[in-house]
Amino acid sequence: MSQPVIKTQCPYCGVGCGLEAVPTASGDWKIRGDRDHPSSLGMVCVKGATVMESVNQDRLLYPMFREQLDRPFRRISWEQAFDEITSRLQHLRTSPDAIAMYGSGQFLTEDYYVAQKLIKGCLGTNNFDANSRLCMSSAVSGYMQSLGSDGPPCCYEDLDLCDLAFLVGTNTAECHPILFNRLKKRHRLGSPLKMIVVDPRKTQTAEAADLHLGIRPGSDIDLFNGIAHLLLRWGEIDSLFIEDCTQGFARYAALLSSYEPETVAQRCGISLEDLIQAAKLWQGSRAVLSLWSMGLNQSSEGTAKICSLINLHLMTGQIGKPGMGPFSLTGQPNAMGGREAGGLSHLLPGYRSVRNSAHRADVETFWGLPRGSISAQPGLTATEMISALEAGSLKFFWIAATNPLVSLPDLERVKKALRKSPFTIYQEAYYPTETAEYAHLLLPACQWSEKTGVMTNSERRVTLCQRFQDPPGEARPDWEIFAEVGRRLGFSQHFSFQNAAEVYAEFVALTENRPCDHSGLSHSLLAEAGPQHWPHPKVQTQAKIQDPARLYTDLRFPTPDGLARFIPYHSRGLAEPPDPQYPFVLTTGRVYGHWHTQTRTGRIDKIIKMHPQPFIEIHPHDAEKLALQEGDPVQVRSPRGQAYFPAKITRAIAPGTVFVPMHWGSLWANQAECNALTHDTSCPASGQPELKACAVALRKA
Ligand code: SF4
């Protein structure tokens, strides 16, 4: 009997395109877009189309162990690996904050959930953080501060309904290509859609815009407040919405008085005409959809940037209706699921907070744990974990499904800290990776296609990703590894799951009546009915099912009084502005074909050919001053380290700013790690580091 076509979701970016795995006559699987998936309608980009090519290459097959980092790994059994883990954890039971886990937006929701139960519930430390801290945590805290809860209020259909797309700090054409194509198609077809792109680089996204605002790195808040100043001056505000649905407008309006357009244009490095044109486009639009990603989030004032953007939507009433609202585009395929499952160090499952005693009590009761089991103290963020390793207070560091030895800022510091770690576990599908070099124990994990579970994409749509092939060697699903450790530590009754569907059933029950209510969802429903938006409550009252694709359609917000908040912020500027010693601003980002640290895409020939090497973009004026020709090697230095890249001379980048892609670690290129240069100064509210900007010096190498 022939095998059926299997439905799943792309394991790369937060667009979350639906995929189908189709069995071939030779016994392999072919991947194609799933035309029935409502988020993507059969479309995929090069990453989704080629994902199968990476699945069977360079896999970590068995647990491997070494006592010291300068020794070779030796193969051990899972039994020995679990003994090693549990004996060390038992030893630390009285000092749980010496334990930390650093997980990933590549986890399935089931992986995230079981990890939270083990680390935060049973072990009693909130030291669980994920690489989403580098990606979306500013969006989380911005939504929380302004709207009272996390969760993007919009959906992809809004791309078809907006008449102004305001794209800020997002190279959507390369990073979320399927969404951008949807916008671009409308734009080309002569619809009334207008596009403003705010980005210091003239990216492919900016090329397609009606108005490109090439602002100075770090001047986003000035721009938002400057547009708001003009709208207020022109009387283009929604007074009724402000009166009925918000609080704090008077303070915001007072702050805006100092944002004279001439000053704002000068601070942002744009013309006064362009600033006025942007405000006029806002003024004339019926439905404004703001889209953003790392350009806002990866900032030492990321939360302030998000709130300042949301302020614009609140003052114009551009929220809660089709085609409008502030819409963060998630980086990773299941960063959203991680937030729902409590996968950051200040969160608990169901959009709960560790700081909230009622939330802790809810979760403890649900998990059947004694009151006080969950710590009231937020755990360490990703970068704080590195500081704790340096300080010697972290004794047990468990990294899973991420490659921090490429992706964390200030890599030399991270490497030194990891060398000091008394015990590091690295749970991963691939070997070698840059991070494996710093581990004592390697645990082979299943990846996409080899395990079943769910992911939530940027529009809050949950997709069941079915397993369709066996894992290689002795690889296991992440959640099974966490559950086995829990059982061996004496928490058998808490980890008696027989399969991922049971894990998911427990998780959704814990979300009941929470803003991210999944309680009506199950693996079987998702398999039968296909992908679903949340909220999806078990009890579907009329009010709750009105429009699950959009939040806040009743113009009430999940704050204590139901009102959204104007949170006024002035900008503090870049944490590390250029100076005479380091006169350039380095900004970083992605290219179309590669994914993050190339763990998968670095193993796919077609993508390697598209992007064979890293590069540094530099404006012709700067190149001339430095006597650089196209392709010349450039030494780039920051106060923390150095790296080398061939010059790409282009007017796409403004003078004084340079751009380097983030994907190349030491495995793929020699001394071309962009994070050797970046710093870890983070947003005080979100803990997200400013990966988007640091000061550098250049010279011809
Ligand atoms: Fe995958 Fe994102 Fe490409 Fe869609 S746009 S196929 S989710 S990488």
Question: Which pLDDT score, from 0 to 100, does residue 190 have?
Answer: 80
Buried b / exposed e over 14-29, threshold 16 CB at 10 Å, is bbbbbbbbebeeeeeb
382, 344 Cβ separation under 8 angstroms = no
Question: Which pLDDT score, from 0 to 100, does residue 542 have?
Answer: 52
Question: Which pLDDT score, from 0 to 100, does residue 188 have?
Answer: 87
Where would I find the beta strands (DSSP E) of 24-141? Answer: 29-33, 64-65, 74-75, 99-103, 128-130
522, 504 Cβ separation under 8 angstroms = yes
* Ligand 1 centroid, distance to 249 Cα (angstroms): 39
Q: Which of 12, 54, 457 for a ligand 1 pocket mutation test, highest count of atoms within 8 Å of Cβ?
A: 12
Does domain 584-700 bear CATH number 3.30.1330.200? Answer: no
Which helix (H) or strand (E) segment is 372 a member of? none
Question: Which pLDDT score, from 0 to 100, does residue 335 have?
Answer: 87
Q: 457: exposed, middle or buried (C-beta count within 10 Å: 0-12, 13-18, 19+)?
A: buried
Q: Which residues pair with 482 in a beta bridge?
A: none
* Ligand 1 centroid, distance to 177 Cα (angstroms): 7
CA dist 84 and 692 (Å) reads 39
166, 295 Cβ separation under 8 angstroms = no
**pTM, rounded to two decimals:** 0.97
CA dist 196 and 294 (Å) reads 17
For residue 438, the 8-state DSSP code is G
589 lines ligand 1 (CB under 6 A): no
574, 217 Cβ separation under 8 angstroms = yes
16 lines ligand 1 (CB under 6 A): yes
Q: Cis peptide leading into 177, omega within 30 of 0?
A: no
CA dist 319 and 143 (Å) reads 13
Closest ligand 1 atom to 9 CA: 7
Domain-wise residue ranges, the chain: 76-135+333-545, 137-329, 584-700
Q: Is 598 left (phi over 0), alpha (psi -120 to 50) or beta?
A: left
CA dist 254 and 244 (Å) reads 20
Q: Chunked in runs of 10, what are the mean pLDDT values of the chain (701 residues)?
A: 89 97 94 97 97 96 98 98 98 97 97 98 98 96 97 96 98 97 91 95 97 97 98 98 98 98 98 98 97 97 98 98 96 92 98 98 98 98 98 98 98 98 98 98 98 98 97 98 98 98 98 96 97 91 67 96 98 98 97 96 96 97 98 98 98 97 94 97 98 98 95
Residue 10 three-state SS: coil
Q: Which residues pair with 676 in a beta bridge?
A: none
CA-to-CA dists, residue 539 to 350, 509, 543, 591, 667, angstroms: 17, 12, 11, 44, 51
Helix axes 302-315, 137-147, angle to 10 degrees: 40
43 lines ligand 1 (CB under 6 A): no
Domains 137-329 and 584-700 alike in fold: no
Question: Which pLDDT score, from 0 to 100, does residue 539 have?
Answer: 78
89 lines ligand 1 (CB under 6 A): no
Q: Which CATH superfamily is domain 137-329 in?
A: Dimethylsulfoxide Reductase, domain 2 (3.40.228.10)
CATH number for 76-135+333-545 (one of 3.40.50.740, 3.40.1260.10, 3.30.2310.20, 3.40.50.1000): it is 3.40.50.740
Sheet bearing 99-103, strands edge to edge: 74-75, 64-65, 441-444, 424-428, 396-400, 99-103, 128-130
User: ipTM surpassing 0.90, yes or no?
Assistant: yes
